[in-house]
Amino acid sequence: SRTHSRAAAARLDLSGIYPPIATPFTAGEEVDHRKLEENLHKYAQMPFKGLVVQGSNGEYPYLTEEEQVEVVRAVRRALPPGKLLMAGSGCESTRATVQLTEKMAAAGADAVLVLTPCFYKGRMDGCALVQHYTKVADCSPVPVVLYNVPANTGLDLPLEAVVHLSQHPNIVGCKDSGGDITRIGLIVHKTQTQDFQVLAGSAGFLMAAYCVGAVGGVCALANVLGRELCELQRLCWLGRWEEARVLQQRLIEPNAAVTRKLGVPALKQAMEWFGFHGGACRSPLQPLTAAETEQLRREFASNGWL
């Protein structure tokens, strides 16, 4: 099965746009599977490469493991053929990550997205992280994608560790949400002999990431403006940079609003405005205040989206 996995890894083309899907809840904070399916039905008609399930925007730290796996199963059932399902499976301990990875694969994930463990930041040096990811990739039935999101974890996966891990046959790429375009360019450069694929972790620097060699993006904003992000990708792929720039620039402020500035509650509010089910977050995430909602609306409206 390792051989099998390696062949699969070699084949797996990650290039394209992925929304890291939000998890709708009922008023009682239970996962709302009906609303989830309605969202999935709409996403199925967009030119996404696939979906990311149990990323940060899915409030995965607030779901039980059972809920996490059940959502992956539901997405698998709803996903049209040919679309990729990438599932988050990163836990703090290596053993828990291995186990959740196996469950995600069994539930239908085509690949897993593995967040850096971060609680003991001071000890999570390159050596510890290489051992962690190597063990996970050794055991995983599906290809592994590294996941670096320093704003949430307070930790930057060292570039040398990424380069080292890119040689593992079952590690096919990374999602980088830090927004350091120099780092993204250097990862592309130092892994160019490895067929290693870099995904931008945010829509704010998507065009620049394509420019320096990324192959796609996992973008919260794709939950809201999915077609527009796919169009941005198309323009970049065609080398129509002037048109791409105009579109990219109009996406920066809405993207910042639903990520860095106002977070998941804003993403879910914006989804409602654009025809999707967002709804409330689980506690302790609070709904937006009236002033924040107004700010959110302005960021979309002043760029011509509302």
**Which residues here bind a second copy, judged by CB under 8 A?**
29, 56, 61-62, 64, 92-96, 117, 119-124, 127-129, 131-132, 135, 151-152, 154, 179-182, 185-186, 188-189, 202, 204-205, 207-208, 211-213, 239, 241, 245, 248-250, 252-253, 256, 260-265, 282-286
Residue (152 or 167) nearer to a second copy, CB = 152
Residue (40 or 306) nearer to a second copy, CB = 306
| Residues with Cβ within 8 Å of residue 91, at least 6 apart in sequence | 97, 100, 117
Compute CA distances 37 → 23, 45, 163, 195, 225, whole Å.
10, 13, 38, 34, 18
Residue (106 or 151) nearer to a second copy, CB = 151
Q: How far is the CB of 241 from a second copy (least distance, A)?
A: 7
- Among residues 306, 272, 304, the alpha carbon closest in space to that of 288 is found at 272
d(CA 201, CA 229): 13
Angle, nearest 10°, between helix axes 241-256 and 226-237?
150
Alpha-carbon dihedral angle through residues 76, 112, 25, 21, given to the nearest 10 degrees: -80
- Among residues 22, 59, 4, 83, the alpha carbon closest in space to that of 224 is found at 22
Residue (51 or 100) nearer to a second copy, CB = 100
Q: How far is the CB of 120 from a second copy (least distance, A)?
A: 6
**Residue in the structure block whose two tokens are 């060292």:** 158
CA 214, 215, 219, 225 torsion-angle sign: positive
**35 classed as catalytic:** no
Q: How far is the CB of 135 from a second copy (least distance, A)?
A: 7
Which helix H or strand E contains 251, and what residues bound it? helix 241-256
- Among residues 286, 255, 218, the alpha carbon closest in space to that of 52 is found at 218
Residue (19 or 204) nearer to a second copy, CB = 204
Residue (110 or 292) nearer to a second copy, CB = 292
Residue (37 or 102) nearer to a second copy, CB = 102
The catalytic residue among 49, 83, 175, 268 is 175
3-state secondary structure of 239: coil
Alpha-carbon dihedral angle through residues 171, 175, 179, 185, given to the nearest 10 degrees: 40
| Residues with Cβ within 8 Å of residue 115, at least 6 apart in sequence | 88, 90, 147, 149, 153
Residues assigned a catalytic role: 175
